[in-house]
Every structure is written in C-alpha cells, then in structure tokens.
C-alpha cells in the first residue's frame, strides 16, 4: 500500500510566487492545496479532524484576518501552539529577496518554524529543501533543477533589494548610534532588545 502524500496548505498574495511554490512542492510528491487569502485559517483548522490537518502551512506573512487588520500569521501561530498540533508553519515574504534577522526572530517568537524570502532561480533549491526537511521529506532535486533553469535571473527584484539594503543601513546606523551613546551606561539586557511588529525581539 502506497504511503499517503503529506499535505501542504498554501495562502499567497503574489500569484506568480504562489504558482512557483505550487509547482515546486508538487514535484516533491506533496499534496498541495492553494486556498484564498480570504480564508479564516484559525476557523478552518479548528474544523479539521487532527488527522486531516496539513503537515505544512505556507503562509504569506502579510495576509490579514477576514474583516480585520490583524495578521493571520500571528493568530495561526498562536492557535497551533495552543492546540499542540503537529502542523509546521512556514511564513513567506515575497516582497523581499532576503529575510532580515529581526524578521526571522519575530517569526520564530510567534511560533513559526521558519520564514522565507521570494523564490528565485538562485534560491529555489535551498528554500524548497528547508521546507521539505521540516516535514521529514527527502529532497527530489532533478525536477526542481528543471524549474530553476526555466526561471529568469533576479533583475526584476533589484528595486526590492535596494530598498531592503537602505532600510538595513538605516537600522544599523541607528543601532550603532544607540550603542555608542550607551557605552558609558551600565550594560543592560534591554540594550539588546528591539520592538518589531509589537513583539520584543532579541538582536
């Protein structure tokens, strides 16, 4: 008897990135379900039997809860943690080519297993490998290599890259100035903690 495919539930705002993730994950013998951004994830998961829960939830971190300005990523991570279900949550930011350390720390503090940048020719293999490893699947590399070769380079994302680098420089500059101004003070734990999306994150 063949082993049942592990299920992945995806919610993407970026259609192109969603299609790329779907194609990539389906080559890994995973059962991929792509739901609408209007889906109330907590309600949906709460109505599932434990055996029917997806092995992996791949969620665009900017998706908001229905009729609300709150992020679904926060509420879903809290629900999974509280219910102690085995579903792994991977957040996804298709607006960035590289995830900042502070964003990664924020996601882990919320209860996500990982947070990934937009897929590109350069990182497709590595990011899919991170996802499959989380749910105990071996990477099937050959079909992924074909998908990666069919993609164009990262030139369309240069603007995002520049914006990200600019923000990082400003953040580093602010941190440096803060550190210098506090050198004469007693070293305290609060100097190593910043606020990100309402969560205290250790640098």
Question: 2: helix, coil or strand?
Answer: coil
- The number of residues in the chain equals 203
Q: Sketch out the chain's domains with CATH numbers.
A: 7-153 (3.40.50.2300), 156-202 (no CATH)
What is the predicted pLDDT for the residue at 178? 45
Pairing of strands 193-196, 199-202: antiparallel
Question: 64: helix, coil or strand?
Answer: strand
CA 171 to CA 113: how far, in whole Å?
25
Strand intervals (E) in 39-143: 56-60, 88-93, 114-117
CA 90 to CA 135: how far, in whole Å?
11
CA 84 to CA 137: how far, in whole Å?
21
In this prediction the pTM is 0.73
CA 87 to CA 176: how far, in whole Å?
39
Say if CB 56 and CB 31 are below 8 A apart: no
Residue 140 CB partners (closer than 8 Å, separation 6+): 27, 28, 29
Question: By 3-state DSSP, what share of the chain in percent is helix, strand and coil, each rounded to 5?
Answer: 45, 15, 35
Residue-level pLDDT, tens digit, the chain, 203 residues: 456 789 999 999 999 999 999 999 999 999 999 999 999 999 999 999 988 999 999 999 999 998 888 899 999 999 998 999 999 999 999 999 999 999 899 889 889 999 999 999 999 999 999 999 999 999 999 999 999 999 976 544 433 343 334 334 444 554 455 445 444 444 445 556 555 555 555 55
Say if CB 137 and CB 30 are below 8 A apart: yes
């Amino acid at each position: 008897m063949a082993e049942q495919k592990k299920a992945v539930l995806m919610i993407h705002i970026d259609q192109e990135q969603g299609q790329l993730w779907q194609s990539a994950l389906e080559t890994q013998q995973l059962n991929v379900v792509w739901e609408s951004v209007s889906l109330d994830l907590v309600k949906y998961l709460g109505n599932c039997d434990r055996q029917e829960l997806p092995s992996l939830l791949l969620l665009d971190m900017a998706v908001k809860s229905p009729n609300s300005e709150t992020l679904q990523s926060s509420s879903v991570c809290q629900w999974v943690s509280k219910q102690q279900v085995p579903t792994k949550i991977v957040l996804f930011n298709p607006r960035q080519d590289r995830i900042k350390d502070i964003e990664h720390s924020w996601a882990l503090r919320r209860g996500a297993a990982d947070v990934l940048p937009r897929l590109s020719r350069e990182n497709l293999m590595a990011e899919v490998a991170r996802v499959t490893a989380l749910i105990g699947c071996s990477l099937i590399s050959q079909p992924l290599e074909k998908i990666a070769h069919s993609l164009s380079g990262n030139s369309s994302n240069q603007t995002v890259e520049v914006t990200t680098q600019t923000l990082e420089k400003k953040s580093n500059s602010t941190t440096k100035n803060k550190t210098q101004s506090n050198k004469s003070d007693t070293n305290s734990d609060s100097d190593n903690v910043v606020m990100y999306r309402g969560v205290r994150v250790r640098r």
